[in-house]
A and B are shown apart, each in its own frame.
Chain A
Amino acid sequence: MRIQADRDVCIGAGNCVLAAEDVFDQDDDAVVEVLQDHPGPDQESEVRNAVAQCPSGALSLVDD
């Protein structure tokens, strides 16, 4: 499972940081930064939650 983040689409709501703080961060303009693009199995549920709660659709998960 790999996280894809579209920084042009991100609106900086910060929901992902609150849902999975070890995986997502924000730069100074609040745009998403992915700290780990291959989260471990123990992080899967919080990452799925973060993707579901992203208001802009900037986040997606791809199988690889």
Chain B
Amino acid sequence: MSTTPTIPRHMQRDRFAPVPETQAARDEDDFPTIRTSLGTTARLITRYADVREVLGDAERFSNEGLPPLPTPDGEDRRAGNLLATDPPEHTRLRRLLTGEFTVKRIRRLEPRITEIVDEHLDAMEAAGPPADLVSAFALPVPSLVICELLGVPYADRDDFQTRSTRQIDLSLSLEERGRVAAESRAYMGELVDRARSAPGDDMLGMLIREHGDDLTRSELIGIASLLLIAGHETTANMLGLGTLALLRAPDQLAHVRDEPDAVAPAIEELLRFLSVVHSGIPRSVRHDTTVGGRPVAAGELLVLSLPAANRDPAATDHPDDLDVTRAVAPHVAFGHGVHHCLGAPLARAEMAVAFPALLRRFPGLALGIPFDEVEFRSATVVHGLRALPVTW
């Protein structure tokens, strides 16, 4: 395990699981106080019911009181960032986007997702084993999908992938992350300006054509930046970690590979078991109140451990076991409440195509190094693997 003391406790993992002290917090009488990546303190919420209570109540728990994140050009980095806005502003912004992510709209993308998946599997097969599954498959597939959907040139991927990884890497200083964020905004600003003069058929073009008068340039940049980062960092890490988890459970891998009806429930179980996003964004307590009957004070910051909640025995039997045959795997891997992941239908569709396609293409897929040598990514906002050497 490669965690260092500087990593906030809610981001520390023991391979797939949250660290034992975070798991144990569910049984403690009080909410533990932890230090956040910004150096402030927060209360850690770990029970499934408590996490749902906090995230499900935007009246009592909000962004109010969180420090603004100014950029060097004087703009507020929160503009257009859905996660950082509260209703009714949040409702206005989210409603502009939800139509693009309906279950029906996403189903129409499935043929293109399948082509992208197949092209990457073809390339892996042609190059022959071994391969790094992260760089050959898990990262490029969702990255290309979100680029096409959003209207970001895929040719720019090396730059924006590096930037997005650095922006969520907490081992870098705040200044460094701020500098990368500013670069990222400048890049997205150019794309927004280009799309404003010639809006394409993609999501950025749609936003400008249909809502160009309602959205400021800053808001467009904020929305596009969030979708770009959220669109590939999350699914990419689910594909990498999910493949590793299945390789560790060959019977379950075979079930997902051979039974088409097993795929959708297996994805929910992998979402629950892996919970790649360590925490929902911190919520600020607006007035003195209680969570699960226990007091929290006005102004306190609450950090919600999604993986701890998803391994709460009160919500799931044998929560530390991966079991893709569960009838229902209740989870908060996509969050809960008004900030529930907008892209969840897209993420599910990508995984539903990618996992079975990978496993059927390479029935002999195997880990290329001993499990103990697999490098888990630490100190990033999204859990994942640095690389996943595989053979077949």
Q: Which chain A residues have a beta carbon within 8 Å of chain B's beta carbons?
A: 11-15, 17-18, 26, 28-31, 49, 52-53, 55-57
Complex CA distance for A6 and B252, rounded to whole angstroms: 39
A56 touches B102 (CB 8 A): no
For the complex formed, measure the closest distance between the CB of B312 and the CB atoms of chain A, giving whole angstroms.
15
Give the contacts of B95-109 with A (CB-CB under 8 A). Answer: 95, 98-99, 101-104
Chain A residues with Cβ below 8 Å from B94 are: 11-12
Chain B residues with Cβ below 8 Å from A26 are: 102-104
Chain B residues with Cβ below 8 Å from A15 are: 340, 344
Question: Total A-B residue pairs with C-beta atoms closer than 8 Å?
Answer: 57
Q: Which chain B residues have a beta carbon within 8 Å of chain A's beta carbons?
A: 55-56, 94-95, 98-99, 101-104, 264, 328, 330, 334-338, 340-342, 344-345, 348
Q: A13-B344, A52-B330, A55-B56 are in contact. Are A28 and B99 (CB under 8 A)?
A: yes
- Which chain B residue shows the least CB distance to A15? B344
Chain B residues with Cβ below 8 Å from A49 are: 328
Complex CA distance for A29 and B92, rounded to whole angstroms: 12
Complex CA distance for A16 and B337, rounded to whole angstroms: 14
Q: List 9 A-B contacts (CB under 8 A).
A: A11-B94, A11-B98, A12-B95, A12-B99, A13-B345, A15-B340, A26-B103, A28-B99, A28-B102
Chain B residues with Cβ below 8 Å from A53 are: 330
For the complex formed, measure the closest distance between the CB of A58 and the CB atoms of chain B, giving whole angstroms.
11
Q: A11-B94, A29-B95 are in contact. Are A18 and B340 (CB under 8 A)?
A: no
Chain A residues with Cβ below 8 Å from B341 are: 13
- Which chain B residue shows the least CB distance to A52? B330
If over half of A's interface residues share one DSSP class (helix, strand or loop), that class is named, otherwise mixed; here it is: loop
Give 10 A-B pairs besides A13-B334, A14-B345 with Cβ atoms closer than 8 angstroms: A13-B345, A17-B102, A18-B264, A18-B345, A18-B348, A26-B102, A26-B103, A55-B335, A55-B338, A56-B340
Q: Give the contacting residue for A13; candidates B95, B99, B104, B340; CB below 8 A.
A: B340
- Which chain A residue shows the least CB distance to B95? A29
Q: Give the contacting residue for A55; candidates B98, B102, B340; CB below 8 A.
A: B340
- Which chain A residue shows the least CB distance to B335? A55
Complex CA distance for A41 and B194, rounded to whole angstroms: 54
For the complex formed, measure the closest distance between the CB of B110 and the CB atoms of chain A, giving whole angstroms.
14
Complex CA distance for A41 and B188, rounded to whole angstroms: 51
Chain A residues with Cβ below 8 Å from B334 are: 13, 55
Complex CA distance for A56 and B338, rounded to whole angstroms: 6
A14 touches B102 (CB 8 A): yes
For the complex formed, measure the closest distance between the CB of A8 and the CB atoms of chain B, giving whole angstroms.
9
Chain B residues with Cβ below 8 Å from A14 are: 101-103, 344-345
